[in-house]
Chain A
């Protein structure tokens, strides 16, 4: 029998309903795995062993008296450290938030809590979600469960590693330019970034507000749907959250039109990654989808658009970390000195780099050349997608140009690091949903197939991902821990 911590959400739910095991046993199996492996991978920054056991006991009590068991009831989840859980520390893996305790539950946490989910702990990340490798954490890098010498991707690297190493059944992450999908690809799990505006970000620490979205890291696409259904929705604390527009779209792969954007198969992409992705796409064709090459002519500009707009929004959003109301405060004679020293001591290099880049592109004399230009180019990138989605129902492409790389390799070269997001950023720039699913291996390292959908087309991409999983064996592969 599969160890309990290795189950998917759906399998665990079935087991709980049939009373094959208890929630407490399920939570303890995860806690034991964390206990045994977290020192090797540094996926969790903090584990809530007592609270998790207590939450699990409460669900067990309910099941014993014959209460109905919801799909997430008693399911142990991990939460990225930039999502607030009331009464628990929350730091975005930054020294500037040392000692900060969340005063309220994020929207998604409140929803999951109401659904009976069990929170195992908070996971490591690139500081304030800025990075593609989880090396930018103030608490040390997370390591890839497939090979601890390699990065897990980022910025939700702790969540991806925790799912891949079966320390939890699923995890929450956030995705501003690929931070859920890219680590999912590099760790061999399923990463979903929903449509912009489909999940309220109240209680998610803001990085770049026109791009940020909360997503999930799960073991299957079916599990991604379960988590998405539970967290989708808006509240009046996030004015960009859109009232539910999700349609039940066509879900049978047969007859769906899948577009393959030719610009996503570029020079510099790993040949074996390309081969695995192309084979995955052929598989969709064998399942009855129509495969068609399409063009997104402005793809090559999406990354530049992203790095200008993201940095601009970062410089504005992170102005709040000034040592006044929360977190760390350095000494100074006057307020301005306190600001300068607190932000110098509290922020890591990548965060400071992006704040200064954002300050530059917004400053007098540069605003039109950078910020406004990027906003206009953003329109062109969006228009590409709108046009293509008139011809096809979804797009299929690689999630990343390469598999996981050695820790330290790109750390001192930010521009090269940024290029690892080249395929994922356009979904954020256009605000569309996208999911990464495992589609093969290179030298024992996972490769991700990227499916992109129309706005609010989560159902379509998840259905295709789920059907693909049923005809492929990639999810059965587990890292040898």
Chain B
């Protein structure tokens, strides 16, 4: 199965990964080869076979819906890991470009 350059662009967009033109060609051919291999599953008759999503047989692992918080020292390290922040808040770029003309 051949993955087209258009499909690669679509996947990269869905995965939020910018690709160069060279990478698009390379990933396209590599993904095509991998999909060619995994297509061997089509030889299997799986009609009526239940899907396995986990193997331990655990069912409905519940816990109380309450906030546990974390210890202050761990919290401090978490905040220090923010690439950019304002006091204890994560600072990020806007979702939309907000220029005066757009208002």
Contacts and interface: CB of A to CB of B under 8 A. Distances in A.
A355 B31 CA distance: 11
A329 B85 CA distance: 12
A338 B84 CA distance: 13
A315 B17 CA distance: 11
B63 interface: yes
Interface string A321-357: 0111111110011111111110110010100110111
A242 B52 contact: no
A196 B27 contact: no
A304 interface: yes
B67 interface: no
Interface residues of A, number: 71
Contacts of A374: 38, 41
B53 to A, nearest CB: 6
A304 B17 contact: no
A467 interface: no
B40 A325 contact: no
Contact of B81 (A197, A325, A343): A325
Contacts of A341: 18
B61 to A, nearest CB: 4
Contacts of A63: none
B47 to A, nearest CB: 9
Interface in B26-55: 27, 30-31, 33-35, 37-44, 46, 49-55
Given A340-B16, A344-B17, A360 B31 contact: yes
A335 B93 CA distance: 5
Given A101-B80, A430-B55, A356 B90 contact: no
Nearest to B28: A356
Nearest to A415: B33
B50 A359 contact: no
B40 A301 contact: yes
Contacts of A382: 52, 55
A376 interface: yes
A101 B51 CA distance: 39
A433 B80 CA distance: 39
A307 interface: yes
B25 interface: no
Nearest to B95: A335
Given A104-B74, A356-B17, A327 B83 contact: yes
B17 to A, nearest CB: 5
A478 interface: no
Interface in B59-78: 61, 63, 70, 74-75, 77-78
B26 to A, nearest CB: 8
Nearest to B19: A344
Nearest to A372: B51
Interface in A341-391: 341, 343-344, 347, 349, 352-353, 355-357, 359-360, 363, 370, 372-380, 382
Contacts of B81: 100-101, 103, 325-327
Contact of B52 (A197, A298, A301, A378): A378
Contacts of B11: 356, 359-360, 363
A355 B41 contact: no
Given A324-B83, A344-B19, A379 B49 contact: yes
Given A356-B11, A376-B46, A380-B46, A307 B52 contact: no
A386 B75 CA distance: 45
Interface string A89-107: 0000000000011111000
Nearest to A354: B34
A414 B92 contact: no
Contacts of B41: 301, 304-305, 308, 373-374, 377
A183 interface: no
A463 interface: no
B52 A356 contact: no
B34 to A, nearest CB: 6
A405 interface: no
A240 to B, nearest CB: 6
A210 interface: yes
Most chain B Cβ neighbours within 10 Å, of A315, A334, A347, A363? A334
A265 interface: no
A210 B54 contact: yes
A476 interface: no
A87 interface: yes
Interface of B: 3, 7-8, 11-12, 14-19, 23, 27, 30-31, 33-35, 37-44, 46, 49-56, 58, 61, 63, 70, 74-75, 77-78, 80-84, 90, 92-97
21 contacts: A197-B55, A239-B58, A239-B63, A301-B43, A304-B40, A308-B38, A324-B90, A326-B82, A327-B83, A340-B16, A355-B17, A356-B27, A360-B7, A363-B11, A372-B51, A374-B38, A380-B49, A414-B30, A414-B34, A415-B30, A415-B33
Given A197-B56, A380-B44, A415-B34, 12 more contacts: A86-B74, A210-B53, A301-B44, A327-B81, A333-B93, A335-B92, A344-B18, A356-B17, A357-B31, A360-B7, A360-B31, A455-B55
Sorted nearest first, the 5 A-B pairs with minimum C-beta distance are A431-B55, A103-B77, A375-B51, A329-B83, A376-B46
